[in-house]
Structure 1
Amino acid sequence: MSARRLAVLLGPRRSGVPAYTWLADSIRQLVADGRLLHGTRLPSERELLGQLQLSRTTVTRAYGVLRDRGYARAVRGSGTVVQVPGGPVAGGGEPLELASLQPVGADVVDLTCAAPAAPPGLNRAYAWAVERMPSFIAAAGYFPLGVPELREAIAQRYADRGVPTDPDQIIVTTGALAGLAAVYRALLSRAEPAVVESPSYPNSVRALAHSGARVVPAPLVSDDLEGLSGVIRRSSARMMLAMPDFHNPTGHVWSDDERARVAAMWRAGGVTGVVDETMIDTWLDEPIEARPMAAYAPGCVTVGSAAKTFWAGLRIGWVRAPHALVGAIARARLTMDLGAPVLEQLAVARLMDTQGGLSEESRQRLRASRRVLLELADRCPGWQAETPTGGLSLWWHLPSERSSALVAAAERRGVLLAPGSLFAVDGRGLERWIRTPYALDEVSLQRAVGGIADAWADVTAPSHFAVKN
């Protein structure tokens, strides 16, 4: 990293502390926030002292403090290099149905996961939460509906979006998937039909099937509203799982008209809409102008999460439900767990207060990563994808039915992909589709583009077809 770029990241010097302490603490905070990555070479002492107008003794002492605390190391020929104390932990990817639960090696690019890295400020939010803990540790620590300040913050977010909500309508959960599972358990009887757009997020569909529901695939709202109406009518479904905001995997966003028409279908058919809003804050080009589904369908249940907005490791989600359904969902949730961790709830409440949603730096990083993956259109003849205005992945249409073959070939080249069939509600088909998340950094995605392009060349080569035949 250049001295000029580091100076921008450091910002103005903090008064009241020695200069070497400010420099060491500021660099340590950049590492903790993920803005300085493991292995980054810091500017030389001479470069940095000129840029920051500090003495060489100050910079030398600051670098020494970083090395002593495990945030940097001296490398012969490279100077001072950033390190995460203990080294970065492998794995941490999203466990999809076909993915291994073992950590992914450092030489593999995992494109089965669509979750961004932690934003700047997460470490500070945890520090703030630790300071708040004395207020909670005198009691037993069970908050099955969530700590009051987080429930209030979530309710306020809905109110700000035009859906009046009081904290009594909010149930905090250990992630969105746990919230969905509680809703399914509360509202569905065994073998009762539930409609889901296909393709869809596989873990949500698996949780629905595991609840005992009969999962009924339907066309995407953005493709065939009349077809969806027919499926609801013929199946006599009493629930529909919907993802109107940056749908995973397609990235589609329902318009106001589509939301109003779907809400009318739900009312006419006596259907409870279960709305997955985990992607709502991941807009990259412009915020979603359409109002939330709860504005059109007051009887729907909405599920949200901190995973895509802040960090998946927080494991905090929530359910917003009409007053008439809150009790049933809360009782169903108590059969699964007794509440989310207090520290993480406080950290999320702090992030909501200080950042609101996805940080601008995170948006810039995701836009840059999206541009890298769009290069696949040039590298892989015939590949087509709409550029979504948000979300975390591209949904590619392939010129031939080679999705599963591509996944196998890409894995041999160190790139993990999920086949299109994984996103099919019935687990079959979609061999002309592949999802490529752009949540990783640009360097990793550039490696992935090369590996995917080479793998596509492998599976479309005449010799490959000859072997198969």
Structure 2
Amino acid sequence: MDSRITARALSAALGGWRTREPAYEALADGIRLLCLDNRIAARTALPAERELAAALGLSRTTVATAYRSLRDSGHIQSLRGSGSITLPHPRREPGRVATGADDIDLQQASPAAWPGLAGVMSETAMDAASLVARTGYETRGTHALRTLVAERYAAAGVPTTPDEVMITTGAQSAVHLLAQTLLRRGDRALIETPTYPHAAEALRAAGARLVGVPVTTGEGWDLDRAEQAFARTMPRVAYLMPRFQNPTGRSMGDAEEAVIARAAARSGTVLIVDETTADLAIDPPTGSRDGAAHAFARNRVVRVGSLGKTVWGGLRIGWIRADASLIDRLVAARPPRDLGTPEFEQAVATRVLARMEEVLAQRATLLREGRDALADALATHLPTWRVPHVRGGVAMWVELDAPLSSGLVMAARAEGVYLSAGSRFAVDGTHDRHLRIPFTAPVGDLRRAVDVLARVWPEVRAEAPIDVIEPVGALV
């Protein structure tokens, strides 16, 4: 047995689990979804029936029946005297969920590889002799790649030297390294909600206590809440995606960034700005904000970037841009995790960065086609849902007309369409009224996925308790 989840933690993770009757099957579905999303790892001990019943306000019989349903479906195993533990499941392999030939996997919001990448890899392979002549241990990253990254920042109005750049194995590795270096157990970390879930996991893994600041598709960042959170909790770090935020697609304006920067400076907070989607503009710029350097003061701002969303998810190249003193700390802290980023991938990235304008133009066309096709299909088949217009990024944060995101995801999975429920992106709330739908998949797949959602949605609503379909504050 590797870990244990408390009744309180499971209750929070389940969010709005009661999406259908009977209650025991809805509870079982909620736990299945957590397992399928790998939010509950295999070999995790579940709470005792009595403890979970108390946390959820249910009878012990209801929880016991839900556990029996999970045993029948092969998701848990119960042993007398040892409780119930989750089991490995063939259809929840991390990073690979859709297994059928006709399945549509919309859990990962990454487009297919840039078409020119294969040619760049072939060109790089021609230089294999010079590559293998090096030691291969570049903890800081190759000078050539760091120079190009620094030049791109300088061109965007953020003067940068190669000594202020560190190459990592993707952006996720960068966030993990920053969290482990900057945080101590019990420190507060401010983060948007909804947010990129793997960033929240990295902060929690470092022992941080997360402080959520709401961001919505309509109003953007709740600046009053943000200022209060900075002043009240004095977070050591704040993780933000200010441009084409994942999952909402919102971007900060100069005024919003200025408020956040001032609040962070007053509380002594290190701002970690995730720019992995920042270059994925779809619509032409409007006003001076688009395409300009961020308004965040350079002091205590750390930037994270990567080629995962722009070029290919399989090209595991990311970077950190920070003051040289912090880069030195990160380089010293890195060896226990890994000894550097692979040389071949860095050489490929060096060639790709020289062609980024070409890459981004192709990405804008691809993402525009997906976004427009998805928006049209949703407007046609699910007109009661609220579909935001996003100017860039990789996904839409769609508002449903009932808080049944988890139930909808489970129903869609049965039809071969794999999505992540709104609760997957939550920090301090459930987000069960929202669904992230990436528009990075082929247009045909997006239309088929919406057809499935439109077909199963009435069934999901029909099975839900009336107080869930018509809660206080429901859409009108």
What range describes the TM-score normalised by the shorter chain of this pair? 0.7 to 0.9
Deviation at 1:104, TM superposition (A): 2.3
Match of residue 122, structure 1, among 109, 117, 123 = 117
Instruction: Rate the CA distance shift 1:96–1:172 in 2: closer, same or farther, 3 A.
Output: farther
Instruction: Rate the CA distance shift 1:357–1:298 in 2: closer, same or farther, 3 A.
Output: farther
**Is 2:98 aligned against 1:104?**
yes
Partner of 1:134: 129
Partner of 1:278: 276
Partner of 2:349: 348
Task: State how far apart, in whole Å, the 2-side matches of 1:138 and 1:341 are.
Answer: 14
Partner of 2:412: 410
Query: Any idea what SS the aligned residue of 2:128 has?
Result: helix
Task: State how far apart, in whole Å, the 2-side matches of 1:313 and 1:451 are.
Answer: 29
Over residues 66-94 of structure 1, what are the superposed CA-to-partner deviations in whole Å (9 max), with x where a residue is unaligned?
A: xxxxxxxxxxxxxxxxxxxxxxxxxxxxx
Deviation at 1:195, TM superposition (A): 0.5
The count of residues paired between Structure 1 and Structure 2 equals 373
Task: State how far apart, in whole Å, the 2-side matches of 1:125 and 1:246 are.
Answer: 28
Task: State how far apart, in whole Å, the 1-side matches of 2:272 and 2:181 are.
Answer: 12
Partner of 1:75: none
Task: State how far apart, in whole Å, the 2-side matches of 1:443 and 1:158 are.
Answer: 37
For the 8 Å contact 1:282–1:358, the answer to whether it is kept is no
Query: Any idea what SS the aligned residue of 1:136 has?
Result: helix
Moved more, 162-171 or 324-333: 324-333
What amino acid is aligned across from residue 185 of structure 1 in structure 2? Q
Partner of 1:321: 322
Query: Any idea what SS the aligned residue of 1:151 has?
Result: helix
Task: State how far apart, in whole Å, the 1-side matches of 2:333 and 2:459 are.
Answer: 49
Can you give the 5+ residue segments of structure 2 that lack an aligned partner in the other structure?
A: 1-36, 41-91, 470-476
Over residues 182-220 of structure 1, what are the superposed CA-to-partner deviations in whole Å (9 max), with x where a residue is unaligned?
A: 111111111110100111000110011011111111222
Normalising by structure 1, report the TM-score: 0.76
Partner of 1:201: 196
Task: State how far apart, in whole Å, the 2-side matches of 1:294 and 1:125 are.
Answer: 34
Partner of 2:187: 192
What amino acid is aligned across from residue 229 of structure 1 in structure 2? E
Q: How does 1:372-411 map to 2 (within 5 A)?
A: 372-374=373-375, 375-411=377-413
Instruction: Rate the CA distance shift 1:97–1:114 in 2: closer, same or farther, 3 A.
Output: farther
Q: Which structure exhibits the higher relative contact order, with contacts defined as CA atoms closer than 8 Å and separated by 6 or more residues?
A: 2
Task: State how far apart, in whole Å, the 2-side matches of 1:341 and 1:210 are.
Answer: 25
Over residues 231-275 of structure 1, what are the superposed CA-to-partner deviations in whole Å (9 max), with x where a residue is unaligned?
A: 111112121001001000000000011112211111111110001
Task: State how far apart, in whole Å, the 1-side matches of 2:103 and 2:356 are.
Answer: 32
Moved more, 225-234 or 132-141: 132-141
Deviation at 1:299, TM superposition (A): 1.9
Normalising by structure 2, report the TM-score: 0.75
Task: State how far apart, in whole Å, the 1-side matches of 2:137 and 2:266 are.
Answer: 40
Task: State how far apart, in whole Å, the 2-side matches of 1:334 and 1:291 are.
Answer: 35
**Is 2:310 aligned against 1:309?**
yes
Moved more, 335-344 or 368-377: 368-377
Deviation at 1:357, TM superposition (A): 6.3
Instruction: Rate the CA distance shift 1:359–1:152 in 2: closer, same or farther, 3 A.
Output: same
Instruction: Rate the CA distance shift 1:179–1:161 in 2: closer, same or farther, 3 A.
Output: same
Instruction: Rate the CA distance shift 1:450–1:381 in 2: closer, same or farther, 3 A.
Output: same
Q: How does 1:134-283 map to 2 (within 5 A)?
A: 134-220=129-215, 222-283=220-281
**Is 2:338 aligned against 1:337?**
yes
Task: State how far apart, in whole Å, the 2-side matches of 1:245 and 1:357 are.
Answer: 21
Can you give the 5+ residue segments of structure 1 that lack an aligned partner in the other structure?
A: 1-94
Task: State how far apart, in whole Å, the 1-side matches of 2:290 and 2:183 are.
Answer: 32
What amino acid is aligned across from residue 341 of structure 1 in structure 2? P
Task: State how far apart, in whole Å, the 1-side matches of 2:197 and 2:38 are.
Answer: 7
Over residues 23-53 of structure 1, what are the superposed CA-to-partner deviations in whole Å (9 max), with x where a residue is unaligned?
A: xxxxxxxxxxxxxxxxxxxxxxxxxxxxxxx
- Rg comparison, structure with higher value: 1
For the 8 Å contact 1:395–1:435, the answer to whether it is kept is yes
Over residues 315-337 of structure 1, what are the superposed CA-to-partner deviations in whole Å (9 max), with x where a residue is unaligned?
A: 11100011221111122222211
For the 8 Å contact 1:419–1:433, the answer to whether it is kept is yes
Partner of 2:57: none
For the 8 Å contact 1:239–1:273, the answer to whether it is kept is yes
What amino acid is aligned across from residue 129 of structure 1 in structure 2? T
Task: State how far apart, in whole Å, the 1-side matches of 2:114 and 2:427 are.
Answer: 32
Moved more, 164-173 or 332-341: 332-341
Deviation at 1:290, TM superposition (A): 5.8
Query: Any idea what SS the aligned residue of 1:445 has?
Result: helix
Over residues 397-454 of structure 1, what are the superposed CA-to-partner deviations in whole Å (9 max), with x where a residue is unaligned?
A: 111111111111111111111111110114x411111000011001111111111111
For the 8 Å contact 1:195–1:239, the answer to whether it is kept is yes
For the 8 Å contact 2:254–2:294, the answer to whether it is kept is no
* Identity score, percent: 36
Over residues 263-317 of structure 1, what are the superposed CA-to-partner deviations in whole Å (9 max), with x where a residue is unaligned?
A: 1111111110001000011111135626444752332111101000100101111
Deviation at 1:155, TM superposition (A): 0.5
Deviation at 1:133, TM superposition (A): 3.0
Task: State how far apart, in whole Å, the 1-side matches of 2:197 and 2:379 are.
Answer: 25
